[in-house]
Structure 1
């Protein structure tokens, strides 16, 4: 009997220890879930304010809190409000798609221009390297042929001169090949410039951000990065950190911005391969940041269309 009681006590102590060890993990999980819920709520509030849906969602929430299964008047009003939320969210989602579509089209056109400039650069560099190789090796063989002692000192001197000349020519050709690594410059014409509105530059052709999309970029996102400024300010800070932009407002930086935002009738502006590389990458960053708006729209949608749980009869 004593052995049985002792075994039960040991089992009870082990169970207590296991429970005390598991409790902090449960608390951490609950805290994390609470923080995630709070962040989602702030995202819902920000986007609902942006779309002008805050009064509608508040009224819908009050109806949902007091709505009983089987009520007709309240359900009809809630259905109307849900339809309004649905239409607003769908319109904003299409605005996001339109902006992302224009950006994708511009990136495709710039990629084609970049590929063309790279092909021209590679061809020029290959020709210069081949010329340097032929000048160095071919002329070297000729110089060696003039160095036989039986040909006399005069022929040897001519060979030395040819050798010096070929060395200089090979060096010049190699130097030109290095200089041409930057590649030729081209012009971006008859194309949108979706970076222009973000840098207060004149837009061209169909360059246009829907108001809700542009306002979304200009808002400070809720969460741990709120202290870093608006979404657009955070993007510009990332571009400066990666070297795509300069932190100063000097002439060189202004010329870089002009190259990044040229398009349409600005055919006088010439852009390099590096400019196109930066511009394509920056457009991808803008498209990715805009795409996050769909995540917030989905939260508004889920919150607006939820219905009371009715028992199954």
Structure 2
């Protein structure tokens, strides 16, 4: 009995130790994976040297130049703010294009739905009326041929309205006159001056993300996804690519599907770019804090004035 209790206690201790080590390993792994993100973000916005210098100064003795640390913090914050504003401006341009595309898609969809509903209603009304007439004519044996002719006409008319409804499912087309084509650079098409991605954002899109295939950039991943979900048939689909990257001067008339695909692809781009804001936040969180001892700022200021 005593031996069994000792064995059970040993197993419990071993299990607790195993869970503790497993939890520690799971805690260390994400931290190790997250270490490279602030470094790559610092390189992206051009403050890698300042971040290294700041980290070295934060490890130096108390006599280190605290004003230099403060200046480095300020410079890094300025670059992060500038990059964040570039992301916001890019997302704002994308959002405006999405909104306009959705408005035109909704307009064309409403027109299509009204036309389809009208054709279906006419098919029921006229088909039923003419069918009833044909049935009435059949009551007289001398009117069999006219009744058959009317019945054939009713069927033909209903079939014609059904075909018209099927054709109307495609909807009308409409030019996209909003001055924006934020998908153009993804397909090496001419982009409007206001639709060129800032260098920081474009470099971010052409980088390989830390999670995922090691040879696929964010831009390539988006292009593969669009082909996979049939937003475009292939990278050689010139007509479709021309429509989703068009600008007002092209005078293309876009369909409902074109507007829907354009908005959906822009939403994908917006989602990818938003990750840069997260990385900028992680960079700021990784910076060593500025710590001043009581009276140290005044002493440093007095020494600098002397």
TM above 0.5: yes
Residue number in structure 1 paired with 2:279: 296
1:26 Cα deviation from its structure 2 partner: 2.2
Which whole-Å CA distance do the structure 1 matches of 2:224 and 2:29 have between them?
27
Aligned pair partner of 2:97 in 98, 106, 109: 106
- The answer (yes or no) to whether the contact 1:140–1:166 under 8 Å persists in 2 is yes
Task: Give aligned pairs, total.
Answer: 294
1:220 Cα deviation from its structure 2 partner: 0.7
Which whole-Å CA distance do the structure 1 matches of 2:67 and 2:5 have between them?
58
Q: Which runs of 5+ in 2 are unaligned?
A: 295-306
1:158 Cα deviation from its structure 2 partner: 1.3
1:22 Cα deviation from its structure 2 partner: 2.1
Which whole-Å CA distance do the structure 2 matches of 1:144 and 1:302 have between them?
82
Which whole-Å CA distance do the structure 2 matches of 1:230 and 1:48 have between them?
18
State which drifts further: 45-54 or 11-20: 11-20
1:243 Cα deviation from its structure 2 partner: 1.5
SS in 2 for 1:232: helix
- Structure 2 counterparts to residues 49-64 of structure 1, below 5 A: 49-64=43-58
Deviations 1:87-141 (A, max 9, x none): 1111101111111111111111111101100011011111111121122100011
Change (3 A) 1:171 1:301: same
1:271 Cα deviation from its structure 2 partner: 1.2
Residue number in structure 2 paired with 1:174: 162
Which whole-Å CA distance do the structure 1 matches of 2:163 and 2:269 have between them?
38
Residue number in structure 1 paired with 2:173: 185
Which whole-Å CA distance do the structure 2 matches of 1:94 and 1:15 have between them?
59
Which whole-Å CA distance do the structure 2 matches of 1:248 and 1:302 have between them?
40
Which whole-Å CA distance do the structure 2 matches of 1:228 and 1:200 have between them?
21
Q: Which runs of 5+ in 1 are unaligned?
A: 1-5
Change (3 A) 1:270 1:98: same
Residue number in structure 2 paired with 1:235: 222
Taking structure 2 as the reference length, the TM-score comes to 0.90
Aligned pair partner of 1:262 in 232, 246, 249: 246
Which whole-Å CA distance do the structure 2 matches of 1:135 and 1:205 have between them?
55
Matched, 1:156 2:140: no
Residue number in structure 1 paired with 2:304: none
Residue number in structure 1 paired with 2:32: 38
Residue number in structure 1 paired with 2:267: 284
- The answer (yes or no) to whether the contact 2:204–2:276 under 8 Å persists in 1 is yes
- The answer (yes or no) to whether the contact 1:189–1:266 under 8 Å persists in 2 is no
- Structure 2 counterparts to residues 119-158 of structure 1, below 5 A: 119-149=110-140, 152-153=141-142, 155-158=143-146
Deviations 1:31-65 (A, max 9, x none): 22222122221111111111111111111010011
Residue number in structure 2 paired with 1:3: none
Give the root-mean-square deviation of aligned CA atoms.
2.1
Which whole-Å CA distance do the structure 1 matches of 2:233 and 2:215 have between them?
18
- The answer (yes or no) to whether the contact 1:190–1:205 under 8 Å persists in 2 is no
Which whole-Å CA distance do the structure 1 matches of 2:247 and 2:193 have between them?
8
